[in-house]
């Protein structure tokens, strides 16, 4: 019986030693597109797949001043985000299909506290904390670019 337990322990340790190879080895870099908020230009990486959305901006040490990440979901739904393994403070905008910002919230780094949309959305844009406020963008402001439908 002791020998069997040892075999399971060794097998478990071998499995655990293989896991780091399966884990993400650094921040993901996704294809980007250009968005506009009036005169303000945004270079937004686009997270379209469940895996890309789950990783988001995790492990990213910094974002450029006009860089962000646009999360694109298949269907409108209440969307919730947290900042696990996200090193930088962010502002998040929940955006209607036509590009109208419905809600903006600030999110502190490395927390499991969720920030959720108050209405169903398909599009969510994360930028450096304060980016929207510094440009006087708020709920009701419009974004433009290829992801937004008239």
pLDDT in tens, the chain (150 residues): 444 433 333 333 333 333 343 445 689 999 999 999 999 999 999 999 999 999 999 999 999 999 999 999 999 999 999 999 999 999 999 999 999 999 999 999 999 999 999 999 999 999 999 999 999 999 999 999 999 987
Range of the domain at 36: 27-134
Residue 80 is assigned to a structural domain of this protein? yes
Residue 107 is assigned to a structural domain of this protein? yes
- The contacts found for 7-15 with CB under 8 angstroms, 24 or more apart, are none
Residue 121 is assigned to a structural domain of this protein? yes
Residue 61 is assigned to a structural domain of this protein? yes
Residue 147 is assigned to a structural domain of this protein? no
Residue 44 is assigned to a structural domain of this protein? yes
Task: State how far the Cα of 38 lies from the Cα of 124, in Å rounded to an integer.
Answer: 18
Residue 22 is assigned to a structural domain of this protein? no
Q: Tell me how many domains the chain contains.
A: 1
Q: Which helix (H) or strand (E) holds 12?
A: helix 2-22
Residue 79's CATH number: 2.60.120.1140
Residue 140 is assigned to a structural domain of this protein? no
């Amino acid at each position: 019986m002791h020998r069997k337990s040892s075999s399971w322990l060794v097998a478990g340790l071998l499995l655990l030693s293989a896991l780091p190879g399966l884990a993400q080895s650094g921040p993901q870099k996704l294809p980007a597109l250009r968005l506009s908020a009036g005169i303000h230009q945004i270079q937004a990486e686009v997270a379209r797949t469940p895996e890309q959305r789950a990783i988001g901006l995790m492990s990213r040490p910094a974002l450029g001043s006009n860089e962000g990440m646009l999360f694109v979901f298949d269907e409108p739904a209440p969307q919730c985000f947290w900042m696990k393994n996200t090193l930088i403070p962010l502002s998040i905008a929940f955006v209607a299909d036509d590009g109208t910002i419905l809600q903006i919230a600030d999110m502190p780094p490395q927390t499991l506290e969720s920030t959720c949309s108050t209405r169903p959305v398909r599009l969510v844009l994360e930028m450096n904390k304060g980016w929207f406020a510094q440009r006087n963008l708020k709920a009701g402001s419009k974004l433009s670019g290829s992801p937004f439908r008239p």
